[in-house]
Amino acid sequence: MDFDVVIVGAGFSGLYALYRMREVLGLSARVYEAGDGVGGTWYWNRYPGARCDSESFYYSYSFSEELQQEWAWSTKYPEQPEILGYLEHVAERFDLLRDIQLSTRVTAAVFQDDRDCWEVHTDTGDVVTARFFISAVGCLSAANVPSIPGLDRFEGEWHHTGAWPHEGVDFGGKRVGLVGTGSTGIQATPVVAEQAEHLYVFQRTPNYSVPARNHPLTPEQLQEIKTNYAEIRRKCRESYAGFPYDLTLTSATAVSDEERLATYERLWAEEGGFKFIYGSYFDLLFNQAANDTAAEFIRGKIRQIVKDPVVAEKLVPKDYPYGTKRPPIDTDYFETFNRPNVTLVDVRETPITDVVPSGIRTTDADYDVDIIVFATGFDAMTGSLLKIDIRGRDGMRLQEKWEAGPRTYLGLQVAGFPNMFTITGPGSPAVLANMPTAIEQHVEWIGDCVAHLRTHGLTRIEATAEAEEAWVDHVRQVAELTLYPQANSWYLGANIPGKKRVFMPYVGGFLPYTLRCAEVAERGYEGFALQP
């Protein structure tokens, strides 16, 4: 066997998985990474305005006390280059690069039944074997470029935000069409508007965005964070969504209108960001009446900010509850529509029909542009994994197994695919949680599992079909108790034409999920078949 472990991807998950496997467990590991650098999401997403929506001090690793004490974040929400710099630093500091093969895409992985190992193929012609195959491909890395007729005849340049040119894009004096108003489009719009001659924002669904209230971190704030790191990390681990916010058990409907309004005003004006949803009332995502209070508050803010009432009305979300699409946060997004060089095009009213050589055509008009920016998201949670031809036991293909939607046990393993683990796979809280917190929990669980197998002389672990079935049912049932299924979100695969509508993340909460994972391990890996 060439390696104990092969890991696909060198982003937040792959880097930590390599560290854990090599430095903590003493295993031989090889990481394959398609990019020519480490960083994953933060390597690819270099679009203008790209920054983290979670606060820097907890959107970071906790596994090394030295690392968290040494590193100094500049702001509450750092920009993409700073986060990429952090991940590059981690790779260097822990000497990870020597086991990472860059510019190499894994094309296939085939389980070898007779040897309890995986044979992994790459686009550079490597064929290697490893006992364990770990996917660290990320949940949002397969870019979704809509198949709009005529794009190949467009005479300008176009880019997807998730595959942004390293040399950047000069918008100076250019007419720009930006398609998509999810978290990415909302981050990019104000920045592109400042540079472009004219910006047309093509919006299919308006979004509830809350101001980020970004600011530099002072030396005193940084010191306070560092002094309190143990407590911050504990709060993250023991929370509903991996954020270090104090748990609130109050319903939005249990307080007076005045009190609720004062809370929303404070969170909007002073705190900003995810605290609005995760630090206000516990039932915004479960109780329609509670959700209505927050949704109506944000609608009111949009109407106040945007001066043209017709434009404001188009920007106001009306047909899905707040937070059921991933809530964006912004810096001057709604304000940007007051600029004379910005036009909102409502493509729900007048859909895009095609791209013509000079720009974008809707049912109503032609918009001449020099550059098109597709902020149109990703084939989320399954897209990147299914690009790899993964064959498990008895030649079973993952593409076929997941035809009707992803099926996993705990988001960690798939029945029929022994010794394969998915970090933050579908069926785990992953994208509903603070990602580094979710990633660390997964990597540590997988590491402990591998250590357990080795200690007991076992060479194969596979989720049982029964455990998988029960978990898939549980994930669906919990989702149905919430408001989430009401929105056409990427959580449901609704953004990808033809993708089966299945709620993919586990919405039962990060802490309950981690307790379940721990319980499964304590009971000798309940729901898994272990073999010598």
Binding residues for ligand N01, rule: CB under 6 A, are 52-53, 140, 146, 179-185, 187, 202, 204-205, 326, 347, 352, 375-378, 431, 488, 490, 495
* Cβ distance to ligand N01 smaller for residue 140 or 232: 140
Closest separation in Å from C-beta 177 to ligand N01 = 11
Rounded CA separation 129/112 (Å)? 9
* Cβ distance to ligand N01 smaller for residue 182 or 323: 182
Closest separation in Å from C-beta 52 to ligand N01 = 4
Closest separation in Å from C-beta 468 to ligand N01 = 26
* C-beta neighbour count of 400 within 10 angstroms: 10
* Cβ distance to ligand N01 smaller for residue 45 or 413: 45
Which among 144, 111, 100 has a CA at the least distance from the CA of 388? 111
Closest separation in Å from C-beta 243 to ligand N01 = 13
Closest separation in Å from C-beta 34 to ligand N01 = 18
Which among 319, 327, 316 has a CA at the least distance from the CA of 280? 327
Encoded amino acid at 13, one letter: S
* Cβ distance to ligand N01 smaller for residue 202 or 334: 202
* Cβ distance to ligand N01 smaller for residue 240 or 378: 378
Closest separation in Å from C-beta 130 to ligand N01 = 30
Rounded CA separation 324/318 (Å)? 12
Rounded CA separation 136/120 (Å)? 14
* Cβ distance to ligand N01 smaller for residue 9 or 180: 180
Q: Looking up tokens 């008009």, which residue turns up?
A: 365
Instruction: Outline where 325-464 has alpha helix (H).
Output: 333-336, 383-386, 398-401, 435-455
Closest separation in Å from C-beta 209 to ligand N01 = 11
* Cβ distance to ligand N01 smaller for residue 40 or 180: 180
Is 364 in contact with 350 (CB distance < 8 Å)? yes
What region does 387 belong to: left with phi over 0, alpha with psi -120 to 50, or beta?
Answer: alpha
Closest separation in Å from C-beta 189 to ligand N01 = 11
Closest separation in Å from C-beta 145 to ligand N01 = 9
Beta-strand ranges (E) seen in 282-369 are: 329-330, 342-346, 352-356, 359-362, 366-368
User: Would you tell me the crossing angle of helices 229-237 and 435-455 to the nearest 10 degrees?
Assistant: 80
Closest separation in Å from C-beta 221 to ligand N01 = 20
Rounded CA separation 12/15 (Å)? 6
Three-state DSSP class for residue 100: strand
Angle at 320 between CA 319 and CA 326, to 5 degrees: 140
* Cβ distance to ligand N01 smaller for residue 47 or 133: 47
Three-state DSSP class for residue 154: coil
* Cβ distance to ligand N01 smaller for residue 29 or 492: 492
Q: What size, in residues, is the chain? A: 532
What 8-state DSSP symbol labels residue 79? B
The alpha carbon of 271 is separated from its chain's Cα centroid by a whole number of angstroms, namely 22
* Cβ distance to ligand N01 smaller for residue 184 or 382: 184
Burial of 519 (C-beta count, 10 Å sphere; 0-12/13-18/19+)? exposed
Closest separation in Å from C-beta 264 to ligand N01 = 22
* Cβ distance to ligand N01 smaller for residue 47 or 118: 47
Q: Distances from the Cα of 266 to the Cαs of 34, 219, 269, 329, 442, in angstroms? A: 44, 25, 5, 16, 35
